[in-house]
């Protein structure tokens, strides 16, 4: 089915309020990477205008909450009702320059998961290098500004390592080290964690336990899934937002009709 048709059907579903039934007792966590206007598409970039369309869609059809608040509700087994948390991965500078002004304009909370040893550097990750592109990272001043503005800053390891492949010792250095580096820069606790790459095979169970032992309150994936009441905060599903969706309403249709619910 073409994206335009799915967008139309999604608009019908959401305007009819069917989602009050379809997404009852559920919470959604979405993940963005880059928010910028660039030629072409690499699957990780959303244009600024499209990002604002998503944010307005979220605000209209969901109860947008901070990830911290959502984790609190899950920890205590409290009710969910179309809760949605907005997150960003890696620490791209366009998050600060392009996404934050939209979030502030619409009074929406968000969490920024940053790779601690990439902040303020010229590191080019392999997926950007493969595209022949370099997208700058936030500076530490910008990360601290996010915190002062009331946004949450979470850890995404020190160097974006695959936690499904590395040894326990390396995983501990990446997980614990990222928290210590971020807390040193922010002078505040860092309790939220998202593991790099985000697939089911990218985090070994033993390394998930390391995340918990390091003092984090949650562990986010990025392979999809809606979270139900009682979901373990260390097994949170997130849905990546990409240009694959023709519009927020197509995303909504896929979510309401096709996404599996993360079981407790």
CATH number of the domain residue 152 falls in: 3.20.20.370
Most confident of the following: 36-50, 179-193, 247-261: 179-193
Q: Given this model, what pLDDT does residue 130 score?
A: 93
* pLDDT digits 0-9 by tens, 45-81: 999 999 999 999 999 999 999 999 999 999 999 999 8
Say yes or no to pLDDT of 31 above 80.
yes
Q: Given this model, what pLDDT does residue 41 score?
A: 66
Least confident of 12-26, 126-140, 210-224: 12-26
Residues in the chain: 264
Residue 170 burial class via C-beta count within 10 angstroms: exposed 0-12, middle 13-18, buried 19 and up: middle
SS (H, E, C) 115-130: CCCCCCCCCCCHHHHH
Domain that holds residue 148: 3-262
Question: In the chain, how many domains are there?
Answer: 1
Q: Given this model, what pLDDT does residue 260 score?
A: 37
Mean pLDDT in residue range 101-125: 98
């Amino acid at each position: 089915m073409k994206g335009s048709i799915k967008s139309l059907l999604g608009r019908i579903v959401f305007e009819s309020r069917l989602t009050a039934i379809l997404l009852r007792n559920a919470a959604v966590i979405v993940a963005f990477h880059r928010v910028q206007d660039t030629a072409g598409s690499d699957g990780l970039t959303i244009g600024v205008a499209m990002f604002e369309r998503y944010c307005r869609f979220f605000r209209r059809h969901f109860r947008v909450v901070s990830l911290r608040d959502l984790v609190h509700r899950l920890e205590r087994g409290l009710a969910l009702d179309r809760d949605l948390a907005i997150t960003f991965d890696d620490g791209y500078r366009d998050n600060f320059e392009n996404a934050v002004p939209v979030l502030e304009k619409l009074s929406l909370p968000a969490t920024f998961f940053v790779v601690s040893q990439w902040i303020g550097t010229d590191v080019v990750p392999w997926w950007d290098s493969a595209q022949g592109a370099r997208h700058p990272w936030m500076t530490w001043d910008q990360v601290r500004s996010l915190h002062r503005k009331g946004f949450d800053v979470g850890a995404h390891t020190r160097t974006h390592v695959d936690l499904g492949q590395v040894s326990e010792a390396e995983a501990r250095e990446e997980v614990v080290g990222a928290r210590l580096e971020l807390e040193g820069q922010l002078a505040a606790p860092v309790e939220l964690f998202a593991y790099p790459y985000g697939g089911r095979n990218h985090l070994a169970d033993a390394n998930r336990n390391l995340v918990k032992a390091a003092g984090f309150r949650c562990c986010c994936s990025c392979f999809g899934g809606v979270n139900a009441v009682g979901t373990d905060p260390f097994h949170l599903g997130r849905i990546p937002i990409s240009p694959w969706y023709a519009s927020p309403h197509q995303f909504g249709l896929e979510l309401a009709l096709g996404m599996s619910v993360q079981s407790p």
